[in-house]
Amino acid sequence: MSLLTRDMACQELVELVTAYFDGSLSRSDRRRFRAHIRGCDHCTAYVEQMRQVIEASGRLTEEDVDPRAREELLEAFRGWSEAR
Ligand SMILES: [Zn+2]
C-alpha cells in the first residue's frame, strides 16, 4: 500500500488522531479517518486507546501521547506495510 493512494495510511491516521478528537479535521479527512478505522483493527485499537486517555485526562494533546509508544506503533505500522 502506498502513502500516495487516496486511502488513508495507518501512519497518517496516527498523525491525525489528536485533530480527529479535537474536531479540527476537515470533513473529507474525517470521512477518510472513519473509513480507515472500519477496515483496520490496529487503528481501531489505537483510537480506542486514545479515547481512554481523553476520558482519563479530559483532553488530548500531542504531549499526552507517549512519544515512545507512538514510535513503537509507527514501527509496527511500517512492519505491516512491508509484510503486504
Ligand atoms: Zn490502520
pLDDT at 70 over 50: yes
Question: What's the CA-to-centroid distance between 62 and ligand 1, angstroms?
Answer: 19
Strand, coil or helix: 26: coil
Q: How remote is the CA of residue 8 from the centroid of ligand 1, in Å?
A: 8
Which letter, b or e, does each residue of 22-50 get, where b requires 16 or more Cβ atoms within 10 Å of its Cβ?
eeebeeebeebbeebbeebeebeebbeeb
Task: Give pLDDT tens digits for 2-53.
Answer: 444 467 889 889 889 989 988 899 999 999 999 999 999 999 999 998 888 8
